[in-house]
């Protein structure tokens, strides 16, 4: 779900299909081992187009990229 959301955001921002990559980890505990379900991620700032050129999509105002579960 997170990968799909970010991939679609990149495609919209680039105006074309780009292939991106990321590593997402789910963590269920926070401070003092209380339940605090959240995700950590390493995400490329962009992706590769059909011609294998990297399309740089810098992180800026991320107000429009939120995940509500």
- Contact assessment for residue 22 and residue 41, using Cβ atoms and an 8 Å cutoff: yes
Does the structure show a pLDDT above 80 at 54?
Answer: yes
Q: Where are any strands of DSSP class E within the chain? A: 22-29, 35-43, 46-48, 54-56
∠ at Cα 30 (32, 27), nearest 5°?
140
- Return the SS3 of 19: strand
- Contact assessment for residue 46 and residue 54, using Cβ atoms and an 8 Å cutoff: yes
Spell out the domain ranges in the chain. Answer: 2-56
**7-29: per-residue pLDDT in tens?**
998 999 999 999 999 999 998 88
pTM to 2 decimals? 0.70
């Amino acid at each position: 779900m997170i990968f799909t959301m970010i991939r679609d955001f990149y495609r919209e921002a680039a105006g074309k299909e780009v292939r991106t990559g990321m590593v997402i980890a789910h963590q269920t505990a926070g401070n003092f081992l209380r339940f605090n379900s959240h995700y950590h991620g390493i995400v490329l700032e962009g992706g590769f187009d059909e011609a294998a050129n990297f399309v740089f999509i810098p992180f800026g105002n991320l107000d429009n990229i939120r995940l509500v579960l």
